[in-house]
Amino acid sequence: MNKILDENYYDLIVNNRKGILENNDTFTALNERHCILHAEVPDMDLCNLGLYPYYRFPTLYTLASELSISRSGITRIQSNPLLSLYGRGVIVGVIDTGIDYCHPAFKFSGNTTRILSIWDQTIQTEKPPEGFTFGSEYNREIINFALESGDPLSIVPTNDENGHGTAIASIIAGGPDASQSFSGVVPEAQLIVVKLKEAKQNLKKIFCVNEDALCYQETDIILGIRYVFSFARRLGRPLVICLAISSSMTGHEALGATSSYINNLCQLPQVNVTVAAGNEGNRRGHYYGNISTSPFSNAVGGLQRTVLRSKTDAMRSERTNLL
């Protein structure tokens, strides 16, 4: 079995070194800076995790909620006759739960698809994209052929069982539907879609995540970004990548593998990456913040401790006597 799919291997994010990827199935390329080390752990003994640094394990991401077009004020800008911002000539990459490619929101008026390509990481029966080792790729020609048939899913079996990816894609680039008073933000853009496979169970076990929890691992997301970027770059067209997934794991200093990759891409012309802000703004899960209740303290003797109160204190600390 392909190690990137095999539960008997951990997927660890490591730095590239010269010659590391040559004729070696122990490593899978991620991008110019990082690759995946497939480390065999047949016994899944969590006591052995000290062999690997915590930050080498891919972060787990889950789905973010759909946004509201009207609340964002997009419709006012979109309808401005001086701007005409409808996305013509632009490619939108959606890396999510897949897409219902049969939905009329993703078709031209002649029943042909506006989707340039779909990479379904969950289907292993067809040919993967060039430069990748798993999943199945469906291009525009085969999708159009499927749409003309009486049973599209028998030809292109990819679908969006969850519905989140379809909703996100329609919000961004869904075609106008006057009967529903609906239009996506950029209804004339075309789409490249990546359907993420779910995270490995061994990774969920490491982070004490329930086996049935829907989440995705960082390495698959990076590969999805690389696929979308490479496809758009071959066509020489502007690209916007949407990541409507989020995580509260690891640091938020933008130093991780995904953040650094996105930062590098955004330095390039005609590339933009849009990331969901998250759904936990009012859940008090931040490192910095005001203490709403008296903190618990337990001390012996006259110790002095530094208490970091809030980010708004300009990172100042006060010394407090604990009696």
DSSP, residue by residue, 206-219: HTT--TT---EEHH
Low-confidence winner among 22-26, 134-138, 154-158 (lowest mean pLDDT): 22-26
| 211 pLDDT more than 60 | yes
Residue ranges making up the domain that contains 33: 9-57
Q: Which residue's structure tokens are 């085969």?
A: 142
List Cβ neighbours of 218 (8 Å cut-off, separation of 6 or more): 13, 58, 59, 60, 61, 256, 257, 258
pLDDT at 178 (0 to 100): 75
Based on the domain organization, do 13 and 119 belong to the same domain?
no
Dump pLDDT digits (tens) for 240-291.
999 999 887 876 667 789 999 999 999 999 999 998 876 666 666 555 555 5
Assigned token pair, 221:
């997301």
Based on the domain organization, do 127 and 77 belong to the same domain?
yes
Percentage with pLDDT > 90 across the chain: 55
Assigned token pair, 49:
């995790």
| 191 pLDDT more than 70 | yes
pLDDT at 150 (0 to 100): 87
Q: Is residue 299 part of a domain?
A: no
Q: Is residue 269 part of a domain?
A: yes
List Cβ neighbours of 132 (8 Å cut-off, separation of 6 or more): 119, 223, 227
pLDDT at 48 (0 to 100): 59
Q: Is residue 20 part of a domain?
A: yes
pLDDT at 118 (0 to 100): 99
Mean pLDDT of 151-161: 97
Q: Is residue 124 part of a domain?
A: yes
Based on the domain organization, do 72 and 26 belong to the same domain?
no
Based on the domain organization, do 214 and 146 belong to the same domain?
yes
State the total domains in the chain: 2
| 296 pLDDT more than 90 | no
- When pLDDT is cut at 50, 70 and 90, the band that residue 94 belongs to is very high
Based on the domain organization, do 249 and 141 belong to the same domain?
yes
